């Protein structure tokens, strides 16, 4: 591990961050560390406003000073790098839209219930990110052939239990994935500097992946010769299943295909007859090819998808359906991506509660 030069920063005041999140309409699950979801109506736009972008933190929010902050690139490299924000901003900038989704999004609807942040459906948001392609920095450093993974280390740290060791939020990617996944070292989000809560001054953005890969407050990239086994790599973020009496683990990687109904909102009164249903869909694996809507268990009807959505963005869709009869009606939406993957009817249960991409249902009252 590279020696830490400056660990002396303070954290953002948790109460202040909490109040700002509340004011913006974030549905807060936990104040410190701050965790909260996007109000679903904020997903109607292709890009989620920064103040309403969901927040997932494991520790306090580092209040980093860009003038003393550095990105260290080391380990199995030809040239160790120590880059300032200015150095990074002097490299030609790239922009791309990417949707971030927490692997635990939808956990709250798993039965039986599982431990972990009780995300409903709003642990997902999309932004346009500006920064330097990760490959550009890897090429400057010259990753040695013996390196198998790159470890991305954030400045945020703390103990898992009282009196335990201090650990950092760290995740790895294989060198191959890091080169091919289109990752950005992002310093801007929707045209503004990253807000402190989203990783100021620099974060990785790994498009299409569940967002634990998109390490915030990035301070180090280390090329290592063995698979990384840090806490957030080995003890969490995998799908656990039992096969032939054996427990098998599959790391969470690409976001599963999913759609959400944004309109009408749950439990609202709607008039019988024609009803406009709107929502968004996304998949980390491939573009969305169709979204279908079903009313009260009836046949699946094709929605109209916005084919213009930027790659990586939320695809908005709209369907005009009929709601006949009065009383409760159920609206369900299901997306399919270009790989043919679609959404299961029932939530795919796993011990840590990841990847719940079950068909989304909204119940309304027709009269």
Ligand X SMILES: Nc1nc2c(c(=O)[nH]1)N[C@H]1C(S)=C(S)[C@@H](COP(=O)(O)O)O[C@H]1N2
Q: How far is the CB of 48 from ligand X (least distance, A)?
A: 9
- Quick one: 58 or 334, whose CB is closer to ligand X? 58
Q: Which does 292 bind (CB under 5 to 8 A by kind): ligand X, Mo ion, none?
A: none
On whether the CB atoms of residues 314 and 283 are closer than 8 A, the answer is no
Indicate whether 253 belongs to the interface with Mo ion (CB under 5 A): no
Q: How far is the CB of 311 from ligand X (least distance, A)?
A: 20
Q: Which does 216 bind (CB under 5 to 8 A by kind): Mo ion, ligand X, none?
A: ligand X
Indicate whether 34 belongs to the interface with ligand X (CB under 6 A): no
Residue from 198, 253, 258, 360 that binds ligand X (CB under 6 A)? 198
Question: What single string gives the DSSP state of each residue in 90-135?
Answer: TSPPEEEEEEEE-TTTTGGG-SS--SS----S-SEEEEEEEEEEHH
Q: How far is the CB of 30 from Mo ion (least distance, A)?
A: 13
> Which residue is it, tokens 């400056």?
6
Q: How far is the CB of 69 from ligand X (least distance, A)?
A: 13
How far apart (Å, rounded) are the C-alpha atoms in residues 206 and 55? 16
Torsion angle (degrees, nearest 10) of CA 187, 170, 198, 136 = 20
Q: Which residues have C-beta within 8 Å of that of residue 13, sequence separation ≥ 6? A: none
Indicate whether 204 belongs to the interface with Mo ion (CB under 5 A): no
Contacts (CB under 6 A) with ligand X, residues 124-163: 154, 156
Residue from 141, 188, 215, 359 that binds ligand X (CB under 6 A)? 215
Contacts (CB under 5 A) with Mo ion, residues 10-69: 56
Indicate whether 209 belongs to the interface with ligand X (CB under 6 A): no
How far apart (Å, rounded) are the C-alpha atoms in residues 177 and 135? 10
Burial letters for 31-54: b for 16+ Cβ neighbours within 10 Å, e otherwise? eebbbbbbebebbeebbbebebbb
**Interacting stretch for ligand X, rule CB under 6 A, among 44-52, 56-64, 284-292, 359-367?**
56-64
Q: Which does 58 bind (CB under 5 to 8 A by kind): Mo ion, ligand X, none?
A: ligand X
Indicate whether 107 belongs to the interface with ligand X (CB under 6 A): no
Q: What letter does residue 303 receive in the DSSP assignment?
A: P
Indicate whether 47 belongs to the interface with ligand X (CB under 6 A): no
Indicate whether 288 belongs to the interface with ligand X (CB under 6 A): no
How far apart (Å, rounded) are the C-alpha atoms in residues 84 and 111? 47
Residue from 76, 102, 202, 206 that binds Mo ion (CB under 5 A)? 102
Q: Which residues have C-beta within 8 Å of that of residue 303, sequence separation ≥ 6? A: 277, 279, 290, 291, 292, 293, 317, 318, 319, 333
H or E element in which residue 247 lies: strand 246-251
Note the residues at the interface with ligand X (CB under 6 A).
53-58, 100, 102, 154, 156, 169, 198, 211-212, 214-217
């Amino acid at each position: 591990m590279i020696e830490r030069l400056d660990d002396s920063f303070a954290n953002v005041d948790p109460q202040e961050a909490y109040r700002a999140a509340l004011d913006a309409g974030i549905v807060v699950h936990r104040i410190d560390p701050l965790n909260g979801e996007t109000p679903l109506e904020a997903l109607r736009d292709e890009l989620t406003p920064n103040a309403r972008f969901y927040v997932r933190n494991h520790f306090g929010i580092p209040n980093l000073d860009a003038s003393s902050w550095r990105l260290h690139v080391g380990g199995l490299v030809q040239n160790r790098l120590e880059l300032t924000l200015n150095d990074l901003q002097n490299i030609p900038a790239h922009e791309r839209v990417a949707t971030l989704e927490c692997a635990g999004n939808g956990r709250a609807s798993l039965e039986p219930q599982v431990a972990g942040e009780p995300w409903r459906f709003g642990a997902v948001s999309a932004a346009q990110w500006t920064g330097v392609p990760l490959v550009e920095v890897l090429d400057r450093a010259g990753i040695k052939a013996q390196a198998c993974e790159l470890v991305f280390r954030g400045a945020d740290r703390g103990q898992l239990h009282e009196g335990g060791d201090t650990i950092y939020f760290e995740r790895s990617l294989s060198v191959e994935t890091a080169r091919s996944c289109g990752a950005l070292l992002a310093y801007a989000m929707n045209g503004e500097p990253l807000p402190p809560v989203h990783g100021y001054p620099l974060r990785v953005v790994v498009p299409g992946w569940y967002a634990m890969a998109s390490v915030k407050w990035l301070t180090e990239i280390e090329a290592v010769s063995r698979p990384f086994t840090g806490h957030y790599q080995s003890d969490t973020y995998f799908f656990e299943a039992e096969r032939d009496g054996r427990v098998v683990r599959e790391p969470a990687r690409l976001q599963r295909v999913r759609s959400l109904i944004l309109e009408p909102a749950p439990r609202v009164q709607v008039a019988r007859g024609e009803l406009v249903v709107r929502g968004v869909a996304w998949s980390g694996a491939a573009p969305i090819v169709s979204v279908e809507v079903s009313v009260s268990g009836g046949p699946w009807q094709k929605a109209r998808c916005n084919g213009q959505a930027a790659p990586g963005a939320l695809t908005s869709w709209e369907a005009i359906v009929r709601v006949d009869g009065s009383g409760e009606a159920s609206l369900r939406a299901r997306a399919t991506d270009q790989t043919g993957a679609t959404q299961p009817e029932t939530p795919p249960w796993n011990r840590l509660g990841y990847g719940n991409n079950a068909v989304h249902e909204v119940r309304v009252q027709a009269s």
